[in-house]
A and B are shown apart, each in its own frame.
Chain A
């Protein structure tokens, strides 16, 4: 390693340090540095005063942040669910009720009808006519119906 340094020393013989610096640079450096540090300290103390001035907010901030995050999570889940799910249930209910009405209307069996006719408590002609009509509509085709009328 010593030889290497000698070799390169030969090559660099007579080459001085080419870098310069402003006159008196090191005489004033520590003063400039200290004034920058003072500036930094002042800014820091101002900041810490401002933070202290906030008082209770310092302690409340984590709790508020947690509450806000829970609220955001709730909204993120609730809004998509509430916008999608009611539509589905509403449609399903409507379909079910239509189906139910349809069954009520068309599936009046002949046995039930006979039972009603035989029931002594039902004497109202209007009700009987209505039930007969319902039965006929359920069991007859359109063709049968027209034939009967003619």
Chain B
């Protein structure tokens, strides 16, 4: 089914359920990994992914197709993930510079993380990055999303995204070299 048809079906009364099912099947995996790399724990990721699709279900009538469906879904998923992290931080006493410490703890305690020592080290290096740099790095490195799409999803200029990625790579390299 073409994206245009899918959007039309999603907006119709009769075909909404079936079209939504198609949409979920098509994007669930990509969105899952995007969210998982932000919130880290599988259970949290499951909640956020469900919330993302529920937002889509509730707001599909307002989608004006100014961007692609894919971009819109990623934008909602990113916002939901960041909102979730903000709530988590509010519940804890987070000291300055240790904003992402709880994510490292989550990583180690997550039963669905199988990483060996090197993998754990890399993930911890990524988690040391500031939130925005981390998201940009993950989207570019793991999801291979183009800068122009990323700019639409994160509502930032391509130049700023390139700079963020550059800084992120530098920091990860330094961390891995110095710590080995």
Question: Which of A5, A19, A20, A29 is the one whose CB lies under 8 Å from B24?
Answer: A29
The answer to whether A11 and B165 touch across the interface, beta carbons within 8 angstroms, is no
Whether the pair A40, B54 counts as a contact (CB closer than 8 A) is: yes
Chain B residues whose C-beta falls within 8 Å of the C-beta of A7 in the assembled complex: 169, 173
Interface size counted on chain B using CB atoms at 8 A: 36
Q: Answer yes or no: B102 CB below 8 A from chain A CBs.
A: no
Looking across the interface, which residue of chain B has its beta carbon closest to that of A16?
B119
Chain B interface main SS type? helix
Known: A11-B173, A19-B36, A33-B53. A26 touches B166 (CB 8 A): no
CB closest residue in chain A, given B36:
A19
User: Separation in Å of the A20 CB from the closest CB of chain B?
Assistant: 5
Interface window among B76-84, B89-97, B108-116: B108-116
**Residues of chain A lying within 8 A (CB to CB) of residue B8:** none
Contact, CB under 8 Å: B113 / A20: yes
Q: Which of A19, A21, A25 has the most CB of B within 10 A?
A: A19
User: CB < 8 Å: which of A1, A11, A32, A37 contacts B176?
Assistant: A11
A42 to chain B, nearest CB (A): 14
B21 adjacent to A8 (CB under 8 Å): no
Please name all residues of chain B whose beta carbon is closer than 8 Å to the beta carbon of A82 when the two chains form the complex: none
A2 to chain B, nearest CB (A): 12
A residues contacting the other copy or chain, number (CB 8 A) = 24
Docked complex: A1-22 residues within 8 A CB-CB of B:
1, 4-5, 7-8, 11-12, 15-16, 18-22
User: What's the count of A-B pairs with C-beta under 8 Å?
Assistant: 71
A5 close to B141 (CB less than 8 A)? yes
Complexed CA–CA distance, A33 and B42 (Å) = 16
Distance, CA A18 to CA B118, complexed state (A): 10
In the bound complex, residues from chain A placing their C-beta under 8 Å from that of B120 are 18
Report if A18-B28 is in contact (Cβ < 8 Å); known contacts: A4-B166, A11-B173: no
- Of residues A7, A20, A40, which shows the largest number of chain B Cβ atoms within 10 Å of its Cβ? A20
**Chain B residues close to A by CB (< 8 Å):** 17, 21, 24-25, 28-29, 32-33, 36-37, 42, 46, 49-50, 53-54, 57, 112-116, 118-120, 122-123, 141, 162, 165-166, 169, 172-173, 176-177
15 extra A-B contacts, CB within 8 A, seeds A26-B32, A36-B50: A1-B166, A5-B169, A11-B172, A15-B122, A18-B113, A19-B112, A19-B114, A20-B42, A22-B112, A26-B28, A29-B28, A30-B24, A32-B50, A36-B54, A37-B57
Q: List 14 A–B pairs whose Cβ atoms lie within 8 Å, in order of A's numbering.
A: A1-B165, A1-B166, A4-B166, A5-B141, A11-B173, A18-B123, A19-B115, A20-B42, A20-B113, A22-B42, A22-B112, A33-B53, A34-B21, A37-B57
Interface, chain A (partner B; CB < 8 A): 1, 4-5, 7-8, 11-12, 15-16, 18-22, 25-26, 29-30, 32-34, 36-37, 40
Query: What 10 A-B pairs come out closest when comparing CB atoms?
Result: A18-B115, A18-B119, A20-B112, A30-B24, A4-B169, A20-B114, A8-B169, A33-B53, A11-B176, A18-B114
